[in-house]
Amino acid sequence: MIETVKLTIRLSNFFKMSWKNKTVSLFLLAYIVIFSAYSLTNFPPLQVQNNVYGFTTDFINLIVLIFLFWMVQCSKLSKFAYTFSTLGLMLWSMGNTADLIDEIVIQPYWVSIYFEDLCRTSGMLLTSYGLFKTMRFVQSINNRLARELIIDDLTKVHNRRYFYQHAKDAQHSPYVILIVDIDHFKAINDEFGHDVGDVGDVVLKELATKYDNAFTHQNKFARLGGEEFGGYLPTNNMTQACDFSQQLIDLAHTINIQNSRHLTVSIGVAMQTPNEPLDKVMKRADQALYLAKKSGRDRFEIAP
């Protein structure tokens, strides 16, 4: 079962964090408390009522930064995205804390100019780069998931979902559908699979690789499920489709099963009739496959 992780920002997440996340979170909180307490007790006060607007906006900005910092700590990011985002938001929050306190007390010049501005500016730069790395991280995950959605896990060729979607979206009409099925596949597993490993899986992967290389240009190949594969040929030339089917049969003969015998396949061939939907073409190809099996296997049959 695939484990899913839900992003939440509850305070209880603190106890689920790694020691690294806990340390940086506590460091930022301790800095804000200690810096604020030190500044309020050691620097001359200002008339707060004269700086209500500035104090309010700086306070809101600090709360937003702390919230973003907490979101980063609760998220599962890549190493670089986490590092730059955490460091950037930490420095930005430190600078903003000094900016907030500056509305309440008279800070030394070096604190206002060097510490406050330097932390805030460097924090913005690091946070921006951390955001860039985060977007790259999210994009890489999106690309991987998009690929996994259309690729068969075992054979690494396209899967049934991709095959049907491509055939439905394709503009060429008519087209030819091939359904390829390995002959006596259960017998192969029963004879070899239990003693020497997953021979059936090895056969599936080897055949899929060879066939995938044979389907060039606009031809598409996919694993439909089990030991069954599908082929899409954007052509109305049945002679070409038959010649290609025979090539696939011959190509299967090049695969030796435990140096005992060569592999054979049966193929059902169906050409789309005018305005015929894909599911009906597939059904006719499947019926032709059944006829090829019934007629002795290691052959192809054309659907009427």
Measuring CA to CA, which residue among 248, 264, 245 is closest to residue 302? 245
Distances from the Cα of 122 to the Cαs of 40, 66, 72, 85, in angstroms?
A: 25, 17, 18, 12
CA dist 97 and 35 (Å) reads: 8
| Matching residue, tokens 């995205």 | 81
**Contact (Cβ atoms closer than 8 angstroms) between residue 210 and residue 203:** no
What residues contact 116, with CB distance under 8 A and at least 6 apart? Answer: 95, 98, 99, 102, 107
* Catalytic residue set: 227
The DSSP bridge partners found for residue 45 are 105
Residue for token pair 């903003």: 96
Give whole-number Cα distances, 65 to 8, 121, 240, in Å: 17, 14, 65
CA distances from 268 to 57, 87, 143, 228, 245 (A): 72, 61, 34, 11, 9
Taking the C-alpha atoms of residue 246 and residue 266, their distance in angstroms, rounded to an integer, is: 10
